[in-house]
Amino acid sequence: MKTLLIIIALAPLFGAILAGLFGRQIGRIGAHTVTIGGVALSCILSLYVFKQLAFDNAPVFNENLYTWFEIGGYSAHVGFLIDRLTAMMMVVVTFVSLMVHVYTIGYMEEDPGYQRFFSYIALFTFSMLMLVMSNNFLQLFFGWEAVGLVSYLLIGFWFKRPSAIFANMKAFLVNRVGDFGFLLGIAAVLWYFGSLDYATVFANRETISGKTIEILAGHAWAVPTVIGILLFIGAMGKSAQVPLHVWLPDSMEGPTPISALIHAATMVTAGIFMVARMSPLYELSETALAFIAFTGATTALFTGLIGLVQNDIKRVVAYSTLSQLGYMTVALGVSAYNAAVFHLMTHAFFKALLFLGAGSVIMAMHHEQDMRHMGGLKKYMPITYWTGVLGTLALVGTPFFSGFYSKDAIIVAAEHASGSHGGVFTYAYVAVLLGVFVTSLYSFRLLFLTFHGQERFKVVAPAHHEHHDGADADGHDDHDDHHHTPGELAHPPHESPWVVTVPLVLLAIPSVAIAWFFAKPMLLGDFFQGAIYVDPSREPLGHLAEHFHSVSGFAIHGLMTLPFWLAFAGFALAAYVYLFNRELATKAYNTLRPLARILENKYGFDALYQAVFARGSVLLGRGFWKAGDTAVIDGALVNGSAALIDRLSLITRSIQTGFLYHYAFAMILGLIVLLSAFLWLK
């Protein structure tokens, strides 16, 4: 097993090194061959490991492979903890990554950075595997920072585009805020447990129960609450929860394949996975769980509302990701950790499908992304359309689709927490309910604006329409760039090549059917065994068992529940407005213009951060520069010491006259001073 796990982790790294360092030598075909081969090997072996643990009841693997360093009595190790939670994450990460790798062959075909891009996405996969397979906090932090670094490289992949550089720097800085809290949480774990090994920490969890710490004098905080909130601040940055969510929509500046990889199966799910892994610690603090539930509910509802006013096809899907991450976070806050990771799994498939489908549309529209210039694409792109329909139905939680089982479980858990505890948990329940309607409305709006209705684009002769087929003047492909003349195409839209459509079909299958096999064992059974711990007094999904007698029976019951009718209402409203009465959308926008402006401005978070933190930091830096560097360092230390030496040298130079009687007088005067001092001291 050990050798198998090492191969799973290192195969993508090997491909990344070959494509990155020897890309010119092996060429484009060589670059995608070695990286796809490495990720495919990891995927196949991950499926085998999952089978061993889930179906053959193989024992949990927890072993240190390498001693990193030793300081005093503390030893840092590289090791793997492979249980069913880890095995599930390994399969999700490698399968979605493999689909993205294959898709990239078609999407990045004309990009001059082809080999570099394949190197980055393979390195991304390695980093995520190291994160989910770790058996200690230090290795977790290594993988945590590695995915952050590679996401910085990928978001700014087209580094000659100013907007891409702004976006990757924004992602980097916002995640540093979260990572600061995460690092403090890890330090607190080491301080109170004397170890960063998961097994040791979880086995001794009760030792911090009842302990307090005074962060501010006179204000005692429970240690489990402090550790839980600090660790969750890291998850807020990585999994883009309010108010550290602002980087995720701007990550659309990267090529579409990496948008799918970041949003579906890697970086943004790291925080959800981490909190689920730390469930033994979080179960010690009601306050930390309430904070998590409140944050997730706010993200689920209010970021979903922003998706209603977006016209960029990728940004609609991006805000959908923010909202769905909020659902997962609510599940964590109500102790339904298994529902959170189950939704993580189902969401990975249908969200990757929707992102890659959006990329397929962008390719067909010659890199036009504004849905207002699309329409009627169904007849041109049947495979993209029907896979998009399946992904949309899964996203809105349609019964019998995978997303229904995972989302409905979260809503049931939130309802139970609301009835048991009220307060914040009631707010969370209302937010996830309203979020169902919002999700359905913006999802079907995207589907109808893109594929249905009148064609809002015009095919013109190439002579009348300037179009790039290769790299632009800045040296990067014009993928994801808007057209010079919106709505005008040099060629009619057409279905994407097989390297794009095959991943769409393969992702559509689990988007529909994966929950049929795993919903009951993951939500109600003991599938995760000791990987997830829930206090026996909570039973967040206990009420789910009353209706979940079978997969089909639960889906039929879902047709009579409020979430289904809210989703249907969103579909009906979107269909009426965007298929039959487009003028109503304009009238509603004009009537609700103040509210629409708030949503278009994203509640002012970007403006606030730009004004307070970005410009404030610049002004503070300039103040320190003028007060410290100019006045103290340059003025007092550098220029001041130079001026002092200059004055002293002038005095010394004036004394050195060259006359003998001046020197004799100075010697006599000095002797008198020395004798006077001697007699006075005596």
What does each C-alpha distance from 609 to 251, 272, 488, 613, 624 come to in angstroms?
A: 17, 25, 37, 5, 20
Give residue 541's pLDDT: 82
Q: Kindly state the tokens that stand for 474.
A: 């800045």
Give residue 484's pLDDT: 53
Give residue 297's pLDDT: 96
In the three-class reduction of DSSP (H, G, I as helix; E, B as strand; rest coil), residue 535 is classed as: coil
Give residue 479's pLDDT: 45
Spell out, as residue ranges, where the chain has pLDDT lower than 70.
263-266, 461-485, 487, 628-631, 635, 682
- Distance between CA atoms of 277 and 185, rounded to whole angstroms? 14
8 Å CB contact between 337 and 413: no
Give residue 651's pLDDT: 78
Give residue 367's pLDDT: 83
- For tokens 């981490």, the residue is 274
8 Å CB contact between 496 and 381: yes
What does each C-alpha distance from 544 to 413, 525, 679 come to in angstroms?
A: 8, 12, 100
Give residue 264's pLDDT: 66
Task: Tell me whether residue 216 is exposed, middle or buried, using C-beta atoms within 10 angstroms of its C-beta: 0 to 12, 13 to 18, 19 or more.
Answer: exposed
| DSSP letters for 11-58 | HHHHHHHHHHHSHHHHHHHHHHHHHHHHHHHHHHHHHHHHHHHHTS-P
Give residue 462's pLDDT: 58
Q: Tell me the pLDDT tens digit for each residue of 55-87.
A: 888 899 999 998 888 887 788 889 999 999 999
Longest dimension (CA), the chain: 118
Give residue 641's pLDDT: 79
Q: Residue 580 CA to chain centroid, in angstroms? A: 37
Task: Tell me whether residue 321 is exposed, middle or buried, using C-beta atoms within 10 angstroms of its C-beta: 0 to 12, 13 to 18, 19 or more.
Answer: buried
